[in-house]
C-alpha cells in the first residue's frame, strides 16, 4: 500500500506548524519570532479546532511560516 504524500493544503494548520518547528529545530516562541507572529497568536493557531481559543491561521501567517522555512533551507543549502 502506497501512502500519498500530503501537500501543505491537505495538512491541518497544526501539522504545518509542527512540521516547521521540527524542521527548524526551534521552540514555539522562536518560531513565532522567526516568522514575526505574536507568540499568543501562534498558540491559538496550534489549538485543536474544538478549542474555544482556536483561530484559523490567516494566509499571511502561513506565508510567514513558509518564508522562515525557505530561508532556513536556502541557508543550509548554501553552506553545504
Return the CATH number of 13-79, one of 1.10.3470, 1.10.260, 2.20.28, 2.120.10. 1.10.260
Q: Residue 40 belongs to what H/E stretch? A: helix 39-46
Burial 41-69 (b: 16+ CB within 10 A, else e): ebeebbeeeeeeeebebeeebbebbeebb
For residue 8, the number of C-alpha atoms closer than 13 Å in the C-beta half-sphere is 8
**Do the beta carbons of residue 43 and residue 14 sit within 8 Å?**
no
The single residue listed with the C-alpha cell 527548524 is: 24
pTM for the whole thing? 0.79
Residue 2 has what pLDDT? 42
Residue 77 has what pLDDT? 80
Residue 80 has what pLDDT? 55
Q: What is the pLDDT along the chain (80 residues), one digit of tens a residue?
A: 443 344 444 468 999 999 999 999 999 999 999 999 999 999 999 998 889 999 999 999 999 999 999 999 998 886 65
Amino acid at each position: 500500500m502506497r501512502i500519498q504524500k500530503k501537500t501543505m493544503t491537505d495538512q491541518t494548520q497544526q501539522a504545518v506548524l509542527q512540521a516547521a518547528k521540527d524542521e527548524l529545530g526551534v521552540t514555539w516562541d522562536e518560531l513565532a519570532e522567526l516568522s514575526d507572529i505574536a507568540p499568543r497568536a501562534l498558540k491559538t493557531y496550534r489549538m485543536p479546532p474544538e478549542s474555544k481559543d482556536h483561530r484559523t491561521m490567516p494566509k499571511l501567517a502561513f506565508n510567514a511560516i513558509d518564508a522562515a522555512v525557505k530561508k532556513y533551507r536556502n541557508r543550509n543549502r548554501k553552506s553545504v
